[in-house]
Structure 1
Amino acid sequence: MDHEQSLKSLFQHDPNRWHLLDLVCALEIPDCWIGAGFVRNAVWDHLHGRPPSAPSGDVDVLWFDPDQVDPAIDRRMEWVLQEWAPGINWSVKNQARMHLRNGDAPYTSTADAMCHWPETATAVAVRRSASTPCEVLAPLGLEDLFAMVIRPTRHFALHKREVHEARVSNKGWLERWPLLRCVDND
């Protein structure tokens, strides 16, 4: 089974995450996914032989619509999702405006925004839709995620290396998942 099929299967057999994907699908917003730790942590737990667990930390909902960049729209979606799933820490962000916060050129899509995220293994998202039971968005590939490699994206390796290094240290990934390896882009 290839990595994409493995990821789809993992989510289809995780009732907690599958339900959250259904809720986000019900929002019916453009180019919308759940990504980052929601995906990464589930895969790393699985590869460490742990059963599916409830998502911890933020559940990052990312979408893209350059005509709806008001942050109040994101807050309204968070409120709706909080009503539907009260125990979840929802974080909804329209990637069409996130370049401003990050000091980058404007992004052209959710996938383009993810290429500017800190780690390759974090730049993965999934979604459900009316036409697809489970779809994967991995503009930087799935190899590092499944190889349990923490590697800065090219953008962070070139321009924000200290941010990447601080994340690895502060998030405690190497303690939580001892089989992980840090790899540099040099």
Structure 2
Amino acid sequence: MRKLETEQDIIQLVMEDEWMMSVLHTAKSLNLPDWWVCAGFVRSKVWDYLHGYTEWSSLADVDLIYYDLSVQDEAVEKQYEQQLRNMMPAVPWSVKNEARMHLINDIPPYSSSVDAMSKFPEIVTALGLTLDEQNKVVLSAPWGIEDLLHYAVRPTPHFAESPELMKRYEDRLVKKNWKSRWWKVEIIR
């Protein structure tokens, strides 16, 4: 097993995974603005690899986010999910327009999908992948990849600054129970 040390190492790992690349190409086919497949899709792949697992961890969902100020109707997101399910039925798609998600989260509006990612609960889920115009994989890691590569789970600064959000963070840790799958994970409170 080769070491993962850089963002390019993670990108290479993704490019070698036929299923992940199919997911990314399928997501790109919708032509959504500022789109990213994010969170557990990236984290789980890296942690599975670093733990030496040859079988992919089951994902509750595959999060596709995008940013479109012109249409902020949840019904449109559901239509995109259906289109994706028609193309890849085995994938548990979840599509969210981050231009409206600030309303759900009761915070000021996000400026982009990457801004929204930076406010996800954990640094290790604040990750996303997209394909550029030449179909090259692009990784966004607003808080870096150090926590991901060192199995550290800690809140993003956005969550850490709020007692209410920290309660949600703690509840997520219990629900996700990541240590049961990835024994090297260290929870940082």
TM-score (norm 2): 0.93
2: distance between equivalents of 1:29 and 1:52?
30
Asked if residue 163 in structure 1 is aligned to residue 168 in structure 2, the reply is yes
2: distance between equivalents of 1:50 and 1:127?
24
Unpaired stretches in structure 1, ≥5 consecutive residues: none
Asked if residue 86 in structure 1 is aligned to residue 89 in structure 2, the reply is yes
Cα RMSD (Å): 1.3
Q: Secondary structure at the match of 1:121?
A: helix
Structure 1 11/52 Cα, relative in aligned 2: closer, same or farther at 3 Å? farther
Post-superposition shift, 1:6?
Answer: 1.2
Q: Please name the residue that 2:34 is paired with.
A: 31
Post-superposition shift, 1:47?
Answer: 0.7
Q: Please name the residue that 1:67 is paired with.
A: 70
Aligned residues: 184
Post-superposition shift, 1:137?
Answer: 1.0
Unpaired stretches in structure 2, ≥5 consecutive residues: none
- Identify which range, 49-58 or 130-139, moves more after superposition: 49-58
Post-superposition shift, 1:55?
Answer: 5.1
Asked if residue 58 in structure 1 is aligned to residue 86 in structure 2, the reply is no
Structure 1 86/132 Cα, relative in aligned 2: closer, same or farther at 3 Å? closer
What are the superposed Cα offsets for residues 117-176 of structure 1, whole Å, 9 maximum, x if unpaired?
100000000012332410011111111111110000111112111111111111110111
Q: Please name the residue that 1:125 is paired with.
A: 128
Post-superposition shift, 1:66?
Answer: 1.0
TM-score (norm 1): 0.94
1: distance between equivalents of 2:66 and 2:36?
6
Post-superposition shift, 1:116?
Answer: 1.3
Equivalent pair of 1:64/1:109 in contact (CA under 8 Å): yes
Q: Secondary structure at the match of 2:183?
A: coil
1: distance between equivalents of 2:49 and 2:173?
20
Asked if residue 98 in structure 1 is aligned to residue 72 in structure 2, the reply is no
